Structure 1
Amino acid sequence: MSAPSATAVPRPAVPLAGYLLAAAGAILFSAKGVLIKLAYGGSVDAITLLTLRMALSAPVFVTIGLVTYARARRRGAAAPAVGDLLKAIGVGLVGYWFASYTDFKGLETLSPQFERLILFTYPLFVVLFGAALFGLPFRRASLGAFAVSYAGLALIFLTDVGDQGAAVAVGVAWVLSSAVAFALYQLLAKPVIGRLGAPLFTSVAMSGAALGTGLQFVATRPLSDLAVSAPVFQAALAIAIGATVLPTYLMNAALSRISAQANAVIGTLSPVATLILAVLVLGETVTVADVVGTAMVVGGVGLFTLLDRRG
């Protein structure tokens, strides 16, 4: 019997739809900082804008979670444990309330492209906290990749401090706090998601974050502050739906078609898209330091992804 020809072996289809969904999600996520800066132009503060975002987006997540829960119960699935629901609320407070609030505060003084680059380095904190608190493996080779990324951040930081002063340092501290909180969220959420499932977990976590945001707003602002101008409300709606709900589901849809590694690599589009949107929408100027720093951050995170995949 003769050997089959090479042409007889079918070639796997390229998951083009998955790549396009991941790219669309990354670009929509990248628009968040630009939309927040537009809203700040209408004289709104961070907690008021975050409250509007949660009020407009949380009902969508909650509805999807309730529908998912009802379907699971009809199939005879057991009710989720109360302890897991409480953990999901706590994780939501970390990842959807605290991380979001500190991010919004940082954008009061930082450019959206610098904010996105700082957030983009959260995998460093995932690696460090994972090793220190959760006993996860630590690969020393990853440190070189992070050194490249943070050297890029330092380049942009020094340039912005020279132009804008100490306010930039305050903004960096806020956004770094957000990156730390998001890293902890990633580590704490994974086991709870495994028990509850992603739709129900997201619903409960968003409910917890909405509660935390609402309590913070009521404790610090009069309810009349929610009566914002039409442009601010439109920006808040765009943040809630266009930069929160839609990209979340686009990323989930992409993950059902392509690998997590491919999704992460495509996610490197986000800082670049933010840089472009900041120029086109906000009219910001791009310096050589911005371009070089962005390339270093994206390159460092891309290198980390490659090393982590090989490890």
Structure 2
Amino acid sequence: MDRRSLIIGYSLVASGSALFASKAIFIKLAYLERYDALLILAWRMVFALPVFLFVGAFELVRRRRAGVPLPRRNAVLGAIGIGLIGYYLAMILDFGGLLYVSAQLERLALFTYPIFLIFIGAGFFGMRLTRTSLIAAFISYLGLAAVFATDFSAGGSNITFGTALVLGSAVSFAIYQLMAKRYISDMGPTLFTSVALSAAAVTTLLHVFIVRGHLDTSMSAHYFLLAAGTGLLATVIPSFFVNAGMARIGAASTAMISNVSPLLTIYFAVVLLGEAFTLSHALGTALVVGGVGYHTWRELKAPARA
């Protein structure tokens, strides 16, 4: 692959990771105006859904014109089901957790999903549990415990509840990652993402209307800008950036670059939200990112050893 294509790939993944990192910041800023997880989640989907529907429809038209077979019905149903696990359920838990924990703790807890993926994969999907996996898990959760203990001293039981919700979101996303591969191979990443996200968005909006009977529109223009940022800048654009970059540089390199995401979230949280960043936060962050990074690095080396 030529140098220019690699540079574009790395730039797309890095930009996508940076935009993903802004999600918690948009949400926290929205909470300052309206302390309601379900509301900002619903408006996130209002802004994101039309784009995913358009991209999905465009991909279907492109396939028909090119004579490419349409995906099987079972694949579409699978993408819908997995989307509800990996996006709808994960988002509900994540946004709920952000009501109680800092943006820094949320991002670090969510970032541990590869560790959950390892253990769930070993328990239910026949994956091998290695010494590298165990070391990475120990390092990462030691770091998470350091940040949790620091925040717990200030927030008490709310921190425990919020962290549990975010870890539940990480588990949901890990299950999604394990189950999605076969359907992505069948449908292609663009169509799969459009179907999965559209299903999650529609379900989220139905959830709101069932629980509340309407979608509140009484917020300020500033709130709608934050919701649009959450839906477009922190959801739609990075999804396509990362997918496009991954097509150029591969999944392994994409995973390595994505390690910068929690660091950027922490930077934004300190600068924009005024969150404290202590020595314990620094140590915990280094351990969490180091543990996940160590596992990814070992996985990159594994083919060379085989």
TM-score tier, shorter chain, comes to: over 0.9
Superposition map of 1:279-298 within 5 A: 279-298=270-289
Letter in 2 for 1:168: I
**Which residue, 68, 71, 75 being the options, matches 2:66?**
75
1:59 and 2:45 matched: no
Q: Is the 8 A contact 2:269 2:275 kept in 1?
A: yes
Q: For residues 209 and 250 of structure 1, what CA distance do their matches in structure 2 show?
A: 20
Is it true that 1:191 corresponds to 2:188 in the alignment? no
Matched, 1:86 2:80: no
Residue 118 in structure 1 maps to residue 134 in structure 2: no
Deviates more, 1:269-278 or 1:250-259: 250-259
Matched, 1:209 2:203: no
What's the counterpart of residue 28 of structure 1?
19
User: Quick check: 2:13–2:245 contact (8 Å CA) kept in 1?
Assistant: yes
Alpha-carbon distance between aligned partners in 2 of 1:190 and 1:147, rounded to the nearest angstrom: 27
Distance 1:24 1:186 in 2: 21
CA distance in 2, matches of 1:188, 1:262: 21
Displacement of 1:224 in angstroms is 4.9
Of the three residues 148, 162, 167, the one matched with 1:171 is: 162
Alignment match, 2:263: 272
Structure 1 CA distance for aligned equivalents of residues 252 and 64 of structure 2:
33
Whole-Å Cα distance in 1 between the matches of residues 42 and 30 of structure 2? Answer: 13
Query: Deviation at 1:154?
Result: 0.3
Matched with 1:303 is: 294
Q: Does 2:3 correspond to 1:13? A: yes
Distance across 2 between alignment mates of 1:264 and 1:73: 33
Deviation at 1:228, TM superposition (A): 2.1
2:284 is aligned with what amino acid? G
Tell me, in whole angstroms, the C-alpha distance in 1 between the residues paired with 2:171 and 2:107: 14
Q: CA deviation at 1:229?
A: 2.0
The letter of the residue matching 2:65 is R
Give the equivalent residue in structure 2 for 1:40: 31
Q: Does 1:131 align with 2:122?
A: yes
Separation in 1 of the partners of 2:259 and 2:111?
8
Structure 2: give runs of 5+ residues left out of the alignment: none
Q: Secondary structure at the match of 1:251?
A: helix
State the distance in 1 between where 2:215 and 2:291 align.
45
Could you tell me whether the CA contact under 8 Å between 2:83 and 2:197 is conserved in 1?
A: yes
What is the CA deviation profile of residues 240-265 of structure 1, one whole-angstrom value per residue up to 9, with x for unaligned ones? 11101111111112112223222111
Task: Give, in angstroms, the shift of residue 18 of structure 1.
Answer: 2.1
CA contact (8 A) 1:152 1:294 kept: yes
The CA deviation at 1:219 is: 1.7
Match of 2:229 in 1: 238
Map 1:131-170 to 2 at 5 A.
131-170=122-161
- Report the TM-score when normalising by structure 2: 0.94
Equivalent residue for 1:200?
191
Aligned mates of 1:226, 1:290 — CA distance in 2: 38
Q: Hey, what's the Cα distance between the residues in 1 that align with 2:69 and 2:110?
A: 37
Q: Displacement of 1:188 after TM fit?
A: 1.1
1:151 offset after TM fit, Å? 0.2
Report the alpha carbon displacement of residue 304 of structure 1 after superposing the two structures with TM.
0.6
Structure 1 residues 219 and 66, CA gap change in structure 2 (3 angstroms): same
Find the residue that maps to 1:257 and give its secondary structure: helix
| 2:212 is the alignment partner of 1:221 | yes
Question: How far apart are the structure 1 equivalents of 2:126 and 2:163?
Answer: 29
Aligned-residue Cα RMSD (Å) equals 1.5
Whichever residue aligns with residue 111 of structure 2, its letter is F
Q: Which amino acid aligns with 2:22?
A: A
Code of the aligned partner of 1:121: T
Post-superposition offset of 1:230: 1.6
8 A contact 2:117–2:175 mirrored in 1:
yes
Take 2:116 and 2:223, find their aligned partners in 1: how far apart are those partners? Answer: 33
